[in-house]
Amino acid sequence: MPPLNEIAGWLLLGGSTLLLLSLALGQIWRHSRESRIHRQRLALLEEDLRRSRERRERESSLPVAWNGKRKFRVERKVLEGGDICSFYLSPHDGRFPLPNFQPGQFLTFDFDLKGRPEVRCYSLSDAWSETHYRVSIRRKPGGLISSHFHDQINVGDLLDVRAPSGDFHLDPRGTGGVVLSGSGVGVTPVLSMMKTLLAEHSRREIWFFYGVRNGGENIIRDELRAWAALGLPNVHLQVCHTKPGPGEEQGKDFDQLGRITVDLFRQVLPSNNFDFFTCGPGPMMQNLREGLQSWGVPESRIHDEAFEQVVRSVAVESGKIEFKRSARTIAVGGTASSLLDLATKEGIRIPAGCRVGHCGTCQTALINGQVRYTKPPAFKVEEGCCLPCVCLPQGDVVIDA
């Protein structure tokens, strides 16, 4: 039998060998794991570069947007529910592919109803397609053009359409997290953003908030189910009901009880480090903007679009408005909501689309005098012009209308 000191030596040697072997195996495992993570990150980067290259090649091959009006044919008309109808439009001239657009932009439609020209803007509600554009339009009580779309426009009809435009849009090539929120028909532009991001396989963190009264007004139920079924870890869906229908259960049929608010954002979002895109009624937009600013979100990261004008009459400086083209002059004072409102009450027509300072349809040359804006216009107004839908005269003015 070997001496005890030899046995102890062998044990120490064996233990040291096992320790060294364990350390070596650990280093090999860590190196293998780090190499695997590195390869995964490299593969993701290569995939991003490939998609970016394909996107640039696709966009460079697409035609540029057209000038003026272009004829489009109604290919499909789909009643979505909640008094909202979708129209699928293809170019009558058969020239494909269609020009690309930024998700969140709108189409402008020109009508001539009984000799009276009318202009309206409706948001694109889908991702870009080579063959068609889609708009989803809510029937507005007393709305001339929305009712005309629902009641008179059918498959096969031709419409005069201006190219996609608008400054409320998302850049699909961005990398930062985004919060998309829409209430009622205000979901249409953010729906376009969401579908574009998913079509691009974006890995940005995406929070999508959708507010309706109840499930009967939910026009994107199928899309929501399909998105949830994808199981994407970077996509988070929040459906808000203000007045749930009979039998509707929170946690099953909807996620949050109440409206979309900044308090809700603060409750569910991990931080305020997002770009916020919101669309809905004017009061909702104002509350969200003020709340986000109070939360410390930079102005540059708050993007919103109101689909309804908040009509408020404010004091108007006494003076005269000369409508040069109409050869009319009116005296003003008291209160009014806008220069467009003053003109309309006098029977003087100024073509207008959105009526909230977004589309620029009403842009009119300001020949003399000054105006003040009741809200900052999203549309970039040309030098020497004004947007009558969101401005009022300051003293005497002369405009080309």
Q: Which pLDDT tens digits describe the chain residue by residue (401 residues)?
A: 556 555 555 545 566 676 667 777 777 777 767 666 556 555 555 555 565 555 555 555 568 899 999 999 999 999 998 799 999 999 999 999 999 999 999 999 999 988 888 999 999 999 999 999 999 999 999 999 999 999 999 999 999 999 999 989 999 999 999 999 999 999 999 999 999 999 999 999 999 999 999 999 999 999 999 999 999 999 999 999 999 999 999 999 999 999 999 999 999 999 999 999 999 998 899 999 999 999 999 999 999 988 766 667 889 999 999 999 999 999 999 999 999 999 999 999 999 988 889 889 999 999 999 999 998 888 899 999 999 999 999 999 999 99
- pLDDT in the model for residue 131: 97
Nearest in space to 278 (alpha carbons), one of 270, 267, 286, 268: 286
Query: pLDDT at position 57, please?
Result: 57
Give the full edge-to-edge strand order of the sheet including 391-399: 328-332, 319-323, 391-399, 364-373, 385-386
What topology is assigned to 178-306 in CATH? Rossmann fold (3.40.50)
| Cβ atoms of 201 and 219 closer than 8 Å | no
Is the Cβ–Cβ distance between 120 and 175 less than 8 Å? no
pTM > 0.85: yes or no: no
* Cβ 63 vs Cβ 95: under 8 Å: yes
Q: What are 32's two structure tokens?
A: 């293998």
Cβ atoms 290, 297 nearer than 8 A: no
CATH T-level assignment (fold) for domain 69-165: Elongation Factor Tu (Ef-tu); domain 3 (2.40.30)
Task: Determine the Cα–Cα distance for residues 344 and 336; give it in Å rounded to an integer.
Answer: 11
Q: What is the pLDDT of residue 110?
A: 95
Q: Could you tell me if 275 and 301 are in contact, meaning their C-beta atoms sit under 8 angstroms apart?
A: yes
Q: Which fold does the domain 314-399 belong to in CATH? A: Ubiquitin-like (UB roll) (3.10.20)
Fold agreement between 69-165 and 314-399: no
Contact 272, 178 (CB under 8 A): no
Instruction: Give the pLDDT of residue 44.
Output: 52
Q: Which has the closest alpha carbon to 304: 252, 355, 356?
A: 356
Using the structure block, give the residue that is written with the tokens 């170019």.
91
Among 142, 185, 162, 158, which Cα is nearest to 351's?
162
Task: Annotate 330-367 with b (16+ C-beta within 10 A) or e (fewer).
Answer: eebeeebbbbbbbbeeeebebebbbbbbbbbbbbbebe
Write the CA distances from 365 to 350, 362, 383, 387, integer angstroms: 11, 10, 9, 9
Phi, psi of 245 (to 5 degrees): -75, 170
Q: Where are the domains of the chain?
A: 1-61, 69-165, 178-306, 314-399
d(CA 277, CA 209): 10
CA distance to 49, 126, 355, per residue, from 52 (Å): 5, 21, 37
Q: Calculate helix-pair angle for 221-230, 187-199, nearest 10 degrees.
A: 30
